[in-house]
Structure 1
């Protein structure tokens, strides 16, 4: 009997153990319901998201259709890109006297940039592996590379699909441009990609711009519908339809401002020359569908010298021009982007325009009587040229878009034409708005917050205006305005104080900058590293060299940073501490290999150590990175002459005199020959 009881008890305990283990197993994090779809919920700065492929489980038709939309193709690896370019072609930029080429080998892309000497031989060549393609290619594409630290940089050459040609990407048109050193910031990718999975606070305004090796590819579903992890879990748990729907955002069911905020988060950019700033408490990846955009970012309108407001037209003016339209303003929030656009489908041009025209006629029902003596096939040319037509009048099936939202050339990307979303009566001079144009840097005479949504109070408005100006270009008036605002109305956030500090250093107001830095450091939770980096520059400007060394050394002990390593290296080099300086330059190069000035100083130290061949190579690398860097030409030519490499020295002198950004030292060298 006892044996039987013991067996029964053992069985009960065994069963209880199994049940306990089962429930523990089912509730374990690695057995999250999301694992059924081989996906996971993101953590960190952008939490609550899943891989977009999970959306296809229930919404496959929409998901597959969306893959053809430009937003889905806004960012991709070469291996995941449908190539449309003519690779292997040599493109020459006259202004900088540089040659560009992108070669393809399978799914790999390699960028080349070089110059040619008087004999046509290649000089100052650099090659880089392209890791990311920016843009769908429906209008244009640009290309990015990444260093081992996680920094992304934009390459100067781009592909323009409308004209089927290579050309300089926006911002690289002039002789002096960023070259291969134009860093991509989080704000750049905010609209070109879904949020990456990165640690919390790594997307704070003062944080460095570093990206993981693996990134999302395309804007994705959840930028418009909100993080999907809970929605997918709810669906997998076989909850009710109402519960499932409640866990995701449907933009059409949102209040007007929140609805439009979804589109405007990327398509409202009134001026690329002066971009509004985020709320000081918001990090880059903090915006979510369903929120008000004005609680995240404060967009600004600019006044440009000699350019009327209604003539300001840029490549990302869809939302801005649409917002300016009387149709939008007077629709009492009925008219929206999604009134005409289905974001899940790439529109067929003819069908899409017919659909939009039908929407127009919901309000403008008297289309025939308002357009006498114009035909649907000739309306654009006839109306815009102001001539009369004897053909049949317009009908209800006519195309409204062609006349009232004409295609025109953009100011900022001059090789591209776009549909103007400012719905206007016309007529337009189509030849004038489509003709090729030269790119001009706008002269901004005023800046104001965009009057959309809930605006801040007067004090905060002035604060935001001043900071917006200073992040574009240091300006004495804006600096004084910001300083007075912060003195009279101190705020908790350190961010505007850092903007003031940066402006004071740029303007050479080193004493003021030192005071600002100490003020911020004395505040609770001060961003010590960021302030120390700038304080050191102020101390250098005040000739407090040892203080600057101590400050930089402390900053570097907190976090390595290529700029701080470089600046400390320069100070040590000038003091003759070459061994310690070399350590700092090597660290700077390791963290940011495209830092041309660090390569030059490395070459100088190698020359001091009689490592002449290595020194020559380091100086050549400096010129390969920055082919207009006169100091590198001078040092390299002198070293080549010392080493009896006279022909090579003459070669670099000839090229330097032709392509360097300044040639005073090179001209002096030539006169001594």
Structure 2
């Protein structure tokens, strides 16, 4: 294969030098898996003016270190926010050029909880929001604080509101990172661990990996792109309209993304059909005009302008120019290229009527341009009957893809049992698919169905990704353990951690199982390994504390359990173990203090009965 690629390179070089029929070749060389990404600084060497302009765009500023130069908080009043449901407050502050977030709780005049974490990255260009991430040993998590720049207010991040504040535990995996940033160097066998993370969506996200292009230009092989297509790099403007559209909708069409078999979120390259990598589903309701933040593609496809003309995103947008630098008439002129006559006397700012700003259903405190071009009114129709999850980028998704979409939507967005019924309907139309059937039975809480399926179906591990197979194995382990099938459960827990050795959740479940089986030494090894990888999980400290307690190492048990509480002040399990620790040392008054703490958090807890007996 390598010889074939070399021969192909040589042929193209000959064409380039002779100005021959270069455009007869239709395969982009940078689609080959061996071609590497070189980084945006390499692009700047030859394209400085375009680079400098692009870096002022929202995409160019989408992700960066959380320093004063790149944070919208620099010019803010650093607002404090309060989560009234969890009774936790959050205050950002600067220490020199580093940003920190303080989580605290006050009772009377006393600070009863204080946790300070450094903010490593800001995510979001600042045109709408800045959210905040922290990193530890390569693991990246979101923090519970977002600054909404349009309103100049701070609040919990999208998805953290209404009692869903996950505080510092939300993992930032490849699905998130691959749209908000250039492709990172992701650690194989993890969900959210990275060797390195670039700063901002770069040139190669729209043009593809640049290694071949750079090498050929440095070697003096120049193509007259006014006459021919340079197949060493993708120029989206030279792509067919549907593939142009796919470049943009890779990220400007967000919903329930279902990967094609064997694909990852970093496999898409400009010039490829997006359907080769993923289907993206959105829930559709009759007469609904609501939309989410990144629904530009979905809304544009509903426009008469799109349906009746050869229109793509770049018909109106120059991705190298920030919209903040464009003249007031820029978009009006774009409209007038097709619409010479407007019935309204006011012909300035066409978008104010035909693409009005509106709120989105998924992100609060923002106003975004509705990309459904048309005649709008202020009367919003009531959302009608649910029509189903629709694959926006694929008119003919497979039944397996549809089943995966309903399961993922149930698990990630809305736990409506009807989605499970729909998933099963489509699953029945496919051959037995191990990972998806396991997901269905697990979410359905049908232990018997899952056990029967696993016991009666062989697993061809070559058909599935390590990620999906490890999740299935871990869930199978849970169900078998719950049904006292311990030896089989242990086998599946082991399989999960072998395939994805850097996923902390799988290690916690494996360690807890081993502990319940009284395999203290094995459990201790698993939890100690997890602690070394990522010490921010309260469950790790809790279980190591319990193991230390069983070993009668009371001092170490106390340290672990109190660290678990430092990470989560409302962690009842940690207080329960501290009660046990105090009782084992005959410290009855201390036990009473912990029992009262439990009752503050959970008034219906059995701690009340225990207190009465002490």
How does the TM-score come out when normalised to structure 2?
Answer: 0.83
Question: Counterparts of 1:385-464 in structure 2 under 5 Å?
Answer: 393-394=345-346, 396=347, 398-428=348-378, 445-450=386-391, 452=393, 455-456=396-397, 459=399, 462-463=402-403
Matched residue, 1:106: 96
**Distance in structure 1 (CA, Å) of the matches to 2:32 and 2:136:** 23
Matched residue, 2:21: none
**Distance in structure 2 (CA, Å) of the matches to 1:452 and 1:546:** 45
Matched residue, 1:143: 132
Work out whether residues 656 and 663 of structure 1, in 8 Å CA contact, stay in contact via their aligned partners in 2.
Answer: no
Matched residue, 1:250: 235
Deviation at residue 454 of structure 1 after TM alignment: 5.1
**Distance in structure 1 (CA, Å) of the matches to 2:165 and 2:244:** 39
SS at match of 2:230: helix
Work out whether residues 408 and 417 of structure 1, in 8 Å CA contact, stay in contact via their aligned partners in 2.
Answer: yes
Matched residue, 2:303: 325
2:444 to 484, 497, 507: 507
Matched residue, 1:62: 50
SS at match of 1:179: coil
Question: Counterparts of 1:221-236 in structure 2 under 5 Å?
Answer: 221-236=203-218
How many residue pairs align between the two structures? 574
Task: From the superposition, tell whether residues 532 and 313 of structure 1 become closer, same or farther in structure 2 (CA, over 3 Å).
Answer: closer
Q: Deviations over 1:220-259 (max 9, x none)?
A: 0111112211111221111232378332222122111101
Question: Counterparts of 1:86-485 in structure 2 under 5 Å?
Answer: 86=76, 89-123=79-113, 125-148=114-137, 150-198=138-186, 202=188, 207-242=189-224, 245-269=230-254, 271=255, 275-303=256-284, 308-310=287-289, 312-331=290-309, 333=310, 335-348=311-324, 351-367=326-342, 370-371=343-344, 393-394=345-346, 396=347, 398-428=348-378, 445-450=386-391, 452=393, 455-456=396-397, 459=399, 462-463=402-403, 465-469=405-409, 471-472=411-412
Q: Where do 5+ consecutive residues of structure 1 fail to align?
A: 1-40, 372-392, 434-441
Task: From the superposition, tell whether residues 277 and 428 of structure 1 become closer, same or farther in structure 2 (CA, over 3 Å).
Answer: same
**Distance in structure 1 (CA, Å) of the matches to 2:479 and 2:463:** 18
Question: Counterparts of 1:475-624 in structure 2 under 5 Å?
Answer: 489-490=430-431, 496-518=433-455, 521-523=458-460, 525=462, 530=470, 531-553=472-494, 556=497, 560=501, 561-624=503-566
RMSD: 3.5
- Higher mean alpha-carbon deviation, 291-300 vs 590-599, is at 590-599
Deviation at residue 508 of structure 1 after TM alignment: 2.8
Deviation at residue 281 of structure 1 after TM alignment: 3.1
Task: From the superposition, tell whether residues 134 and 630 of structure 1 become closer, same or farther in structure 2 (CA, over 3 Å).
Answer: same
- Higher mean alpha-carbon deviation, 133-142 vs 207-216, is at 207-216
Deviation at residue 217 of structure 1 after TM alignment: 0.9
Task: From the superposition, tell whether residues 644 and 518 of structure 1 become closer, same or farther in structure 2 (CA, over 3 Å).
Answer: closer
Task: From the superposition, tell whether residues 340 and 44 of structure 1 become closer, same or farther in structure 2 (CA, over 3 Å).
Answer: closer
Q: Where do 5+ consecutive residues of structure 2 fail to align?
A: 1-28
Q: Deviations over 1:19-67 (max 9, x none)?
A: xxxxxxxxxxxxxxxxxxxxxx999978421111111122111100111
Q: Deviations over 1:531-585 (max 9, x none)?
A: 5433322311321123323443465566645334323332343344444433333
**Distance in structure 2 (CA, Å) of the matches to 1:424 and 1:178:** 39
SS at match of 2:323: coil
> Which structure has the greater CA radius of gyration?
1
**Distance in structure 1 (CA, Å) of the matches to 2:567 and 2:235:** 48
